[in-house]
């Protein structure tokens, strides 16, 4: 594939053949490499290596639209503008050799790719893969696309000591901040602490800034939007021009603020969750940890300021709360200790999360049995009264088979609608049906058919197919919802009145 030739860093050169071999084997492996280490460049070279034959293609997913544009530009520079297309919101180029797709648009992309007859891609590259399979809809879409291999990338220590759901352990590559610091891939950082308590955290941080006078742009953490607004105003009054940013900040305003920060018109941004996955601000020179963070949070947030940039050989971390060991970000050995603490925290969190998930799956299994009988009984009642709810009739042993891909997609679509048919079910069964709609793989084919038929009926879908209907027809009135929350029944009198003459 055409494009610019890139000189790989040592870790990238060592990881490249491992990735190519994993793809050739049709596996689902994960590369963990820290922020700023060059995962995007490695992804480009992997794609260059595996897409050599005629007709080969790949899809790359990222969590946000901003990252679609960012990663798309990197891949286009390496592989050629004609080889890379973007698929998100209103921007769709699904026919290129490499398609960079927003996770939210992935199911739609899969549908269009299948309709176009593209066939299975050689590889699905999932950036930020620790959350790339969090959605049942995305998992179902990936299974439908059936890529020959899957290669995940993540920068975060989260889950990396255990199996990431949907991916094969162990990690294919592990390249942490300590490794990057030892190789000079990231810059060291000096930790500035505070030992007086009389000023409070906010006052102490301003005194620290006045004493150290850091050069260049910086970023300050906040817990809430009002907190960010208040402290940005306080910094500005103290001679440190600042602006507050959060998820509610418009794209235009955020772009302006970042430009002003980079050019010096602003000295700091006070942010609420700005430094999340994929944010690329290598020109940041300092960061202020104004709110408490765990070891995991420190590695994720403070690591953002360690990225290499022209003229930048060190960074500064202001730590008025004393969260960081003094040499934590300036020597590989101490940074490795901090990463070890972060991994331990992640392992404990995963164990807790797995316990919660086990309880959820147990509840789903119970709900499957309940809803199976519930849906079947409703369908039987409807047929007995001469009202066809248009269930996909599944009989015999076929009822025990897993729900079909089409059934899963329909239940997932219905389940996403907050005010859809499920919201009209009685409270006692509503939660169980929602859980099953989110995880239809646990529902047998027969129960899925019955449930879809009932939900269509409740949503007045069946009424649309009648040859004629009286003005004001309301199919939902045919159901009687008992006040005690028991399963609903059909109102015989109302059904007879509605169906008379048809």
Average pLDDT, the chain: 80
- What pLDDT is attached to residue 390? 61
Q: Which of 26-40, 100-114, 286-300 has the lowest mean pLDDT?
A: 286-300
Fold of 187-330: Rossmann fold (3.40.50)
- What pLDDT is attached to residue 125? 96
Which letter, b or e, does each residue of 196-216 get, where b requires 16 or more Cβ atoms within 10 Å of its Cβ?
eeeeebbebbbebbeeeebeb
CA–CA distance, 271 with 222 (Å, rounded to integer): 6
pLDDT surpassing 70 at residue 67: yes
| CATH code of the region 10-180 | 3.40.50.300
Q: Are 223 and 291 in contact (CB under 8 A)?
A: yes
Tell me which residue of 284, 286, 282 sits closest to 316, measured CA to CA. Answer: 286
- The model's confidence at residue 398, banded by pLDDT at 50, 70 and 90, is confident
3-state class of 431 per DSSP?
helix
CB-facing half-sphere around the CA of 385: CA atoms within 13 A: 22
The percentage of residues in the chain with a pLDDT greater than 70, rounded to a whole number, is 71
DSSP classification of residue 208:
H
Where do the structural domains in the chain lie, given as residue ranges? Answer: 10-180, 187-330, 352-499
- The model's confidence at residue 463, banded by pLDDT at 50, 70 and 90, is very low
Q: Are 122 and 58 in contact (CB under 8 A)?
A: yes
Q: Which of 51-60, 88-97, 383-392, 408-417 has the lowest mean pLDDT?
A: 383-392
- What pLDDT is attached to residue 502? 40
Does residue 213 come out as left (phi exceeding 0), alpha (psi in the -120 to 50 range) or beta? Answer: left
Most confident of 61-75, 187-201, 368-382, 480-494: 61-75
- What pLDDT is attached to residue 467? 41
**Widest pairwise Cα distance in the chain:** 88
pLDDT tens digit string along 12-24?
999 999 999 999 9
Domain 10-180 shares a fold with domain 187-330: yes
CA–CA distance, 314 with 281 (Å, rounded to integer): 15
Residue 81 has φ and ψ, to the nearest 5°, of: -60, -35
pLDDT tens digit string along 419-444?
566 765 655 556 667 777 777 666 77
- The model's confidence at residue 484, banded by pLDDT at 50, 70 and 90, is very low
Q: Are 340 and 332 in contact (CB under 8 A)?
A: no
Computed on alpha carbons and rounded to an integer, the radius of gyration of the chain in Å comes to: 27
Q: How far is CA 470 from CA 19, 474, 475, in A?
A: 64, 9, 11
- The model's confidence at residue 178, banded by pLDDT at 50, 70 and 90, is very high
Tell me which residue of 228, 305, 227, 240 sits closest to 268, measured CA to CA. Answer: 240
């Amino acid at each position: 594939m055409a494009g610019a030739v890139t000189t790989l860093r040592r870790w990238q050169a060592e990881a490249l053949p491992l990735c190519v071999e994993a793809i050739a084997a049709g596996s689902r492996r994960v590369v963990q490499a820290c922020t700023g280490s060059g995962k995007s460049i490695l992804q480009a070279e992997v794609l260059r290596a595996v897409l050599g034959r005629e007709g080969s293609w790949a899809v790359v997913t990222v969590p946000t639209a901003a990252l679609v544009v960012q990663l798309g530009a990197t891949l286009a520079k390496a592989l050629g503008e004609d080889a890379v297309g973007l698929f998100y919101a209103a921007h769709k180029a699904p026919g290129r050799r490499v398609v960079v797709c927003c996770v939210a648009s992935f199911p739609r992309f899969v549908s269009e790719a299948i309709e176009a007859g593209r066939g299975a891609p050689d590889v699905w590259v999932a950036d930020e893969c620790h959350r790339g399979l969090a959605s049942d809809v995305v998992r179902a879409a990936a299974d439908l696309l059936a890529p020959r291999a899957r290669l995940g990338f993540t920068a975060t220590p989260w889950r990396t000591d255990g199996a990431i759901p949907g991916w094969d352990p162990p990690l294919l590559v592990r390249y942490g901040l300590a490794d990057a610091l030892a190789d000079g891939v990231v810059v060291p950082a000096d930790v500035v602490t505070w030992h007086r308590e009389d000023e409070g955290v906010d006052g102490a941080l301003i005194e620290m800034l006045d004493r150290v006078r850091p050069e260049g742009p910086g970023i300050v953490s906040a817990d809430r939007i009002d907190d960010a607004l208040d402290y940005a105003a306080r910094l500005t009054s103290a001679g440190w021009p600042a602006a507050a940013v959060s998820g509610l900040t418009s794209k235009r305003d955020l772009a302006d603020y970042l430009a002003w920060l980079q050019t010096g018109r602003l000295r700091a941004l006070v942010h609420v969750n700005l430094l999340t996955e994929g944010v690329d601000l290598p020109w940041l020179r300092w960061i202020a940890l104004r709110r408490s963070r765990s070891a995991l949070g420190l590695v994720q947030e403070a690591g953002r300021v360690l990225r290499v940039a022209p003229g930048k050989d060190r960074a500064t971390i202001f730590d008025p709360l004393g969260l960081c060991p003094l040499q934590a970000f300036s020597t590989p050995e101490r940074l490795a200790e901090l990463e070890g603490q972060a991994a331990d925290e992640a392992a404990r969190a995963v164990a807790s999360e797995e316990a919660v998930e086990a309880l959820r799956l147990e509840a789903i299994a119970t709900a499957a049995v309940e809803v199976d009988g519930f849906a079947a009984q409703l369908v039987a009642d409807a047929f007995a009264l001469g009202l066809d709810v248009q269930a996909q009739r599944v009989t015999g042993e076929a009822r025990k088979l897993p729900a079909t891909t089409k059934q899963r997609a329909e239940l997932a679509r219905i389940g996403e609608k907050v005010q859809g048919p499920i919201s009209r079910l009685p409270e006692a069964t509503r939660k169980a049906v929602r859980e099953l709609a989110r995880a239809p793989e646990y529902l047998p084919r027969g129960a899925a058919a019955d449930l879809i038929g009932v939900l269509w009926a409740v949503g007045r879908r069946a009424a649309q197919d009648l040859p004629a209907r009286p003005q004001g027809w309301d199919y939902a009135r045919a159901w009687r919802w008992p006040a005690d929350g028991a399963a609903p029944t059909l109102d015989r009198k109302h059904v007879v009145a509605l169906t008379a003459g048809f």
